[in-house]
Structures are given as structure tokens and as C-alpha cells.
Amino acid sequence: MSRMHALGAILITISLVAFAWPSVRGPDDPPVPVHQRARQWALAPLDAPEAWRTTRGEGVVVAVLDTGVDPAHPDLAGAVVEGPDLTGTARRESLWGRHGTAMASLIAGRGHGGGRTAGVLGVAPGSTILSVRVALENDDPRRGRARQRGGNALARGIRYAVDHGAQVINMSLGCGSGSWEGSAAEQRAVRYALGRGVVLVASSGNDGAGPGRKNFPAAYPGVISVGAVDENMRVAPFSNRQDDLSVVAPGTGIVTADRTGSYVVTDGTSSAAALVAGVAALVRAEFPELSPAQVRRAVERGATRPPAEGHDPAYGHGVVNAARALEQAAGARQRPLRARVPPRGASGEGTAAVSGEDAGAAVPTAATVTGRDAMADSRQAVCAALVLFVLVLALHRLAGRRRRGRPPLPAARPRPSGPPPGGDVT
């Protein structure tokens, strides 16, 4: 091998490696931004990426009965239809829409940026949110007055959502009537929705470590009542244990959208319910003919079960799984699932945990490199060592040829005395 040929091979090798691997970062380089997507650990146990091979919830309207939803958040742009405010309380920007925006992002978040790979991705990113304001934020001092002034806001919100095209209703709230026994108006509204084919999902409540009372609307017959589990699939201490619990879903350290385009980490059965509402939207999108009871059975039978078989007051029927729910629905309809390639940016890979201690704190937009980034750095180090080995081997062979008295090929132009390390680079 000639010296020029060896150098050419080295340059080609270096070029290929440079294109194949990202550049190695030094300790003084700024941290690599970690998108919120990488922090959405809940998408993996839900098996959402597998479910997206069939559907992303296109065409389904999910009503979010909550504190309002911010349609200007980049992850929800174009996904929100604003309904009425039934609270009877004037909108105060600093105390409006935080909880509702968070829940909407878990259902229909579409991300943003190139390929929509940044921000929060919901379980049913193809669905549309119908926002109906029926409650005030927990820290709003007007809550007591609003409950009286609103007058069955939740019951009226359910009926409004049904009459305006909702196929799924999410209620990540409790005791909308102010009573732990529920109300006749709410119960009638629930029956009205079920009778018109609308799936109802609600949070089971967050006083599991206390009295653990039944939480309405979750406790109304026909509603999918949802509890919360942590990253180890253990029931969260705050999650209510009830005989009417349907399923559990991730509910600790959940990254959600916040108003003003930011993000927060939340704990609670509210987030778990929103994730299950997203699963129900996927089932309804693929099987619009199923009744609410059939959708509920598909969600329950598709759950991964707790250690003991059968229903459990803490786990319900188990941890919800989107892909398995679709399979159960397909079995009920006796037809196979459609298969499709998920669009770019629909991946749920690279999920990393966010500590529950950070609940309610703003999520930073950049963080130190962990997980996959550390693996990328190790691959870069291996590649650098390989390039160095090829370079040393080529120089060793050239030196051997000279020692054997083989003259080098004529140079195309005069060379400076003393070739630089690694040969000529032109």
C-alpha cells in the first residue's frame, strides 16, 4: 500500500465516522437540552408506541371538564376547541387553566419543533380537546363561592360535552357538587352520556393515605375510575382504594404542559385518569361502534394484572396498557387491528424518570446528559480509539516499507521538511 493510498483510507475512515457519530463533547461544553419527551416515562408502560402503529386517536373528540385549557400552548396548538365557562366566576389569568392544560396535554399533546420531537406527547395525539371549564384551581380563593354560584357545573358540563360531539369525557376532579355522596343531577348527566355512547373517565381520588372516601364522579356506575401507580408499578400511597376502581395508570412524576408554554411535574390520580382517557380515545378511534361498556371492558381486560388475579381494591383490574386494550377491542369485534407506520416524532423511546420530589416544580429546558447520551459518549470514545488505531497501523506499514528500501512514489508537489503527525492532509 502506498503512502498516499494509506492516507486516503485514513481520511475516508475519519469522514465516515464523523458522519456516523455525533461529535464528542468536552466537560466545559454547555449541557445538551433534554426534551420533555425523554422525561415522559409513562409512555413506555402504557405501550403507547405500539398502539400508535394502529391509531393515534384521529377524529375523536375528548372533552376535558376541568379548569380550562390554554389553546396557545405550543404542544396543543390546533388541538383545542374552547367551550363555555360554567363556573360563574370571572376568569383570572393567574389562576386559570393550569390543571386543565396539564390534563389536555397528557391526552392530546402533539409536541412541537422539528418533527414534533420536543414537548409533551399525549397518549392520543391525533385527538381533539373540547375544553369546558367546570372548576377552579385548587389555590383559587374563590372556590367556595364558585361552587355555589356555578350550580351543578359538572352535570351541565357533561351534558354540554355530549351535545357537542364528545366521544370521551375526562374528569380529573372530584366532588364537583361539593358532596362526598355525589348528586342526583350529576348521576342523571352520567346516565345521559352513557346512553348516547360517550365513554366517561374520572380520577379515583387522592386521599388514599387518609379516609379513602369514594370520589365522585369516579364512583358513579359506568364511569372508568382510575387510580395511580409509580414507576415501579406500585400503587401510589395517595391513590384511593375502592371496590369500584377500574384500572390504575402512571400518576407520579408525570411531566405535563403548563400555561404560558412551560411545563410542570405532577403527582395524582388526575394525571392517571387523563392517560386512561387517552387510551379510551385510541380504542374509540379504531372501534367507533363499541359501546361505553365495551370500551371499558377492553381497557380492563387489556390491563397488566397485579400479583393476585382478579379485581383488587388498590389495582382495580391492573395497570392500563394501550396496545393490549386495542387487542381486546379487536377481539370483541372479531377483526384484526390495522397496522401502520407511526409518523415521525411519535416515538416514546428514551423515557427517563423525573423524581416525584419535584412535583409541581417547573421542569428545566436543559439538563445534564444521562441515559442515552452517556451511551452515545461511550460509542464516540470507541470510534475515536478505532480511528487512532487505523492511523497508527497505516504509519507503521509505511515505516516498514521505507526500512525495506522501497522508495515512495513521487510527490505531486514539494513537501515541507518533516511531515506533520498523521501524514499530509490537504
What DSSP string runs through 360-407? Answer: TSBPPS-----THHHHHHHHHHHHHHHHHHHHHHHHHHHHHHHHTTPP
Catalytic residue among 270, 271, 312, 317: 270
Strand segments, DSSP code E, in 55-213 are 61-66, 80-85, 110-112, 118-121, 128-133, 168-171, 199-203
C-alpha R_g of the chain? 28
Q: Is 66 a catalytic residue?
A: yes
Report, in this order, helix, strand and coil percent for the chain, each rounded to 5: 35, 15, 50
Question: Which among 200, 32, 67, 57 is positioned nearest to 121, based on CA atoms?
Answer: 57
Catalytic residue among 35, 70, 75, 99: 99
Q: Is 73 a catalytic residue?
A: no
Count CB atoms within 10 A of the CB of residue 294: 17
Spatial separation of the C-alpha atoms in residues 284 and 197, rounded to whole Å: 10
Question: Which among 38, 48, 33, 230 is positioned nearest to 120, based on CA atoms?
Answer: 38
Q: What are phi and psi of 130, to 5 degrees?
A: -105, 110
Spatial separation of the C-alpha atoms in residues 278 and 295, rounded to whole Å: 12
Spatial separation of the C-alpha atoms in residues 95 and 131, rounded to whole Å: 16
Spatial separation of the C-alpha atoms in residues 89 and 95, rounded to whole Å: 11
Catalytic residue among 35, 47, 66, 312: 66
270: its cell numbers: 388526575
Spatial separation of the C-alpha atoms in residues 134 and 117, rounded to whole Å: 32
Contact yes or no for 105/77 (Cβ under 8 A): no
Catalytic residues: 66, 99, 270
